[in-house]
């Protein structure tokens, strides 16, 4: 078979000489032709090789396109020397497998398995072991209250809604986290009152009978006399004593009830409050004129 290059000239006439096969079989003589192919200063590449090269380049390009489309389906990045894949959750595939293995190891608690295994054979023994386990780990399960079991005492001393102090007496000097909790509570109380959320003149739902479907009259709510919290000062602290100045404006007892209920829960669960006093310009052991932290005075913004 002869392959012609596109730039090759026309074929020369074949030589007239003939050659005969030297094999012993009796095949008929076969002529051979000598063809001279002239190149055009191009590499000697056959047509078959060129087609094969173009086909291989096409397959390589298709493979690259498939790989790029496959990689676009993932939003994660490849990080690390080993090329671990990192997905949307930020964990590599190797980390995921390790996480599953750790969870399995964590779930296989020998002590807990022993308790469950003895439930059917000896329930009393299993119960004893469970109680012992709870006693050992109760600090991790249950958190004791840091407040006081003694109810907070509440008194009124010539309280004026438009210009009065509210006094706090703690059992101990409050910690910074306790002071932050008290400030957040007072701040929320002031915001709720400033927006008129504590208006006892518009208590339609709380005063309606519970055996009927609740209904709300928007016109009545809009025409109710507003009760707005006017102004409030900052929380002043001296050792285990604190005070805050308030100007509630209107005589709205619901505002006071809301504050007392919140402080009662705080005193029981978080920081013990010995007493809460509404009104009065003086309080026992409170020293006027202190402005320095070195003297035990602290001011906290509300």
Please check the confidence at residue 266 and state whether its pLDDT lies above 50: yes
User: Is there a single domain that holds both residue 33 and residue 130?
Assistant: no
Give the confidence band of 52 by pLDDT, cuts at 50, 70, 90: low
User: Is there a single domain that holds both residue 263 and residue 285?
Assistant: yes
| In a domain? residue 128 | yes
Asked whether the beta carbons of 57 and 46 are under 8 A apart, the reply is no
User: Is there a single domain that holds both residue 273 and residue 188?
Assistant: yes
The rounded radius of gyration (Å) of the Cα atoms in the chain is 46
Task: Give the integer Cα–Cα distance in Å for 227 and 198.
Answer: 7
| In a domain? residue 215 | no
What domain count does the chain have? 3
User: Is there a single domain that holds both residue 169 and residue 269?
Assistant: yes
| In a domain? residue 98 | no
User: Is there a single domain that holds both residue 57 and residue 115?
Assistant: no
* pLDDT tens per residue, range 142-161: 556 788 889 999 999 999 99
Quote the domain boundaries for residue 135: 109-141
Q: Name the pTM for this structure.
A: 0.54
| In a domain? residue 91 | no
* pLDDT tens per residue, range 228-265: 899 999 999 999 999 999 999 888 899 999 999 999 99
| In a domain? residue 221 | no
């Amino acid at each position: 078979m002869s392959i012609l290059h596109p730039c090759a000239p026309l074929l020369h006439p074949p030589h007239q000489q003939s050659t005969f096969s030297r094999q012993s079989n009796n095949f008929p003589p076969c002529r051979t032709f000598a063809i001279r192919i002239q190149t055009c200063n191009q590499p000697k590449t056959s047509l078959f090789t060129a087609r094969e090269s173009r086909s291989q380049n096409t397959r390589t390009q298709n493979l690259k396109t498939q790989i790029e489309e496959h990689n676009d389906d993932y939003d994660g990045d490849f990080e690390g020397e080993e090329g671990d894949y990192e997905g949307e959750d930020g964990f590599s595939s190797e980390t995921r497998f390790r996480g599953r293995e750790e969870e399995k190891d964590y779930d296989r608690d020998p002590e807990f398995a022993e308790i469950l295994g003895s439930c059917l054979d000896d329930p009393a023994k299993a119960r004893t072991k469970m109680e012992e386990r709870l006693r050992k780990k109760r600090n991790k399960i249950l958190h004791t209250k840091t407040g006081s079991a003694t109810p907070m005492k509440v008194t009124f001393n010539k309280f004026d809604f438009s210009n009065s102090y509210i006094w706090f007496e703690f059992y101990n000097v409050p910690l910074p986290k306790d002071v932050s909790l008290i400030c957040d509570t007072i701040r929320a109380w002031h915001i709720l009152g400033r927006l008129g959320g504590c208006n006892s003149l518009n208590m339609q739902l709380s005063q309606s009978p519970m055996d009927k479907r609740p209904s709300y009259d928007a016109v009545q709510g809009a025409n109710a006399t507003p009760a707005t919290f006017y102004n409030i000062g900052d929380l002043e602290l001296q050792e285990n004593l604190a005070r805050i100045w308030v100007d509630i404006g209107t005589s709205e007892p619901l505002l006071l009830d809301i504050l007392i209920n919140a402080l009662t829960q705080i005193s029981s669960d978080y920081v013990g409050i010995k007493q809460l006093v509404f009104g009065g310009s003086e309080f026992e052991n409170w020293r006027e004129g202190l402005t320095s932290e070195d003297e035990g005075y602290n001011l906290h913004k509300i």
